[in-house]
């Protein structure tokens, strides 16, 4: 399949290559291997590594982009239903729109001593935020290589290693086997986030790059029933539409679970969904108006909590405190407390989650 079937001219890939060059890695010829980005050193199956076309840094990562308020003219590129990656650092709420991720895929962000990389892969719909402590704070860039269609990051250290995004760790080079810790985040609609956190800041459209951040550059690629992919991948699991969003939870070797957005919608506008993953009891909060779901350990310190929907929020039976969908208590005895997210929970397209975690359980609404 050629990308011009569903990529618009001027997209990050179609502007640089007319046809995706998919290379089975029995040898490394034809691949972008600049700066020690050599996939022959990888521990993942090499038949699923492909050349994405643009080459190293052909899709430019951002570092500390300008942030503005939601009312600033430089934030007007966002529509209400555009999706953002939301995170809290101290008292600051930050939104990194997927509109930025379509064109840059990585945003390196420094706050005090904290070094983060906010990553989004448009081909797999996966949004993960990483703490860069595993590479001593080195920034990440876009290598130009894909693994099972999702982006392979590279660290700007010497020598460089490759970090397949959904692997959450290095799989090629001298750091292979190193885990990249995640930082808590949620993905939801822009309107949903800014009404939840009106004091938020958001990445300005003035990034220093000439891009149309109002335009999705991949045509109908993200349509839920579109099975078209750009690179080799295992057979698509037909139990859900290939590009339906799922909230995936993985607890290392203990177990994994995928909760499809479509299935959660059947639970109504809001829901509190108890789940067990790898023997651990968790709760998933679903907010259909904001098009978001997030998983949490339902306890604060040693106190176990039972969360249920009350009006437009959730309240725990134990203290009566009110909670937001991103796990923050807004009133009651626990006001200001946060619930803990499992380290391995994030949103991705169903085909990508099922390919990477083929043994994962699939949640179906009862």
DSSP characters over 105-131: SEEEEEETTEEEEEEEETTTTEEEEEE
What tokens appear for 254 in the block? 């203990």
What tokens appear for 239 in the block? 């139990």
Q: Which residue has the higher pLDDT, 192 or 172?
A: 192
Q: Is the pLDDT of residue 1 over 60?
A: no
pLDDT at residue 38 in the model: 59
Q: In a 3-state reduction of DSSP, which class is residue 331?
A: strand
* Residue whose structure tokens are 């840094």: 57
- Cα of 181 vs its chain's centroid, Å: 14
Q: Kindly report the CA angle at 127 between 159 and 256, in degrees rounded to 5?
A: 95
Reported as a single tens digit per residue, the pLDDT across 284-326 is 999 999 999 999 999 999 899 999 999 889 999 999 999 999 9
Reported as a single tens digit per residue, the pLDDT across 26-54 is 323 334 444 445 556 787 767 788 777 77
Q: In a 3-state reduction of DSSP, which class is residue 277?
A: strand
Reported as a single tens digit per residue, the pLDDT across 231-276 is 878 889 999 999 999 999 998 778 899 999 999 999 999 999 999 9
Residue 170 — pLDDT band, cuts 50, 70, 90? confident
For 308: left if phi > 0, alpha if psi spans -120 to 50, otherwise beta; the answer is beta
What tokens appear for 164 in the block? 């397949």
Q: Which fold has domain 245-362?
A: Rieske Iron-sulfur Protein (2.102.10)
Domain with CATH 2.102.10 in the chain: 245-362
Write down how long the chain is.
Answer: 366
Alpha carbons 15 and 35: distance in angstroms, whole number: 23
Alpha carbons 258 and 51: distance in angstroms, whole number: 28
Reported as a single tens digit per residue, the pLDDT across 50-71 is 777 778 889 999 999 999 999 9
Beta bridge partners of 146: 50, 151
Residue 197 — pLDDT band, cuts 50, 70, 90? very high
Q: Which backbone phi and psi does 353 adopt, to 5 degrees?
A: -60, -45
């Amino acid at each position: 399949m050629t990308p011009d079937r569903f990529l618009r001219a001027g997209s990050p890939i179609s502007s640089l290559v007319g046809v995706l060059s998919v290379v089975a890695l029995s040898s490394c010829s034809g691949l972008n291997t600049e700066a020690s980005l050599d996939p022959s050193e990888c521990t993942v199956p090499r038949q699923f590594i492909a050349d994405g076309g643009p080459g190293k840094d052909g899709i430019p990562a951002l570092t500390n982009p300008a942030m503005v308020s939601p009312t600033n003219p430089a934030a007007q590129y966002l529509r209400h239903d555009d999706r953002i990656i939301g995170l809290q650092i101290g008292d600051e709420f930050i939104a990194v729109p997927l509109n930025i991720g379509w064109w840059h895929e990585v945003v390196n962000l420094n706050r005090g001593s904290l070094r983060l990389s906010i990553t989004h892969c448009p081909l797999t719909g996966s949004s993960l935020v990483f703490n860069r402590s595993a590479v001593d704070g080195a920034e990440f860039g876009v290598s130009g290589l894909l693994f099972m269609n999702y982006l392979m990051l590279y660290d700007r250290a010497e020598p460089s290693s490759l970090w397949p995004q959904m692997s959450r760790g290095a799989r090629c080079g001298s750091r292979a086997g190193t885990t990249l810790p995640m930082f808590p985040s949620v993905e939801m609609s822009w309107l949903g986030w800014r009404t939840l956190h009106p004091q938020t800041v958001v990445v300005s459209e003035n990034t220093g790059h000439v891009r149309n951040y109002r335009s999705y550059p991949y045509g109908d690629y993200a349509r839920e029933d579109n099975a078209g992919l750009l690179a080799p991948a295992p057979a698509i699991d037909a139990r859900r539409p290939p590009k339906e969003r799922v909230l995936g939870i993985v607890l290392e070797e203990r177990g994994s679970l995928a909760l499809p957005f479509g299935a959660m919608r059947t639970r109504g506008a809001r829901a509190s969904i108890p789940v067990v993953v790898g023997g651990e009891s968790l709760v998933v909060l679903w907010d259909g108006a904001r098009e978001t779901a997030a998983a949490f350990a339902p306890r604060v310190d040693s106190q176990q909590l039972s969360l249920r929907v009350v009006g437009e929020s959730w309240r725990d039976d134990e203290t009566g405190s009110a909670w937001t969908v991103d796990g923050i208590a807004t009133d009651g005895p626990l006001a200001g407390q946060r619930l803990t997210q499992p380290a391995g929970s994030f949103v991705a397209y169903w085909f990508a989650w099922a390919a990477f975690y083929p043994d994962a359980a699939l949640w179906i609404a009862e």
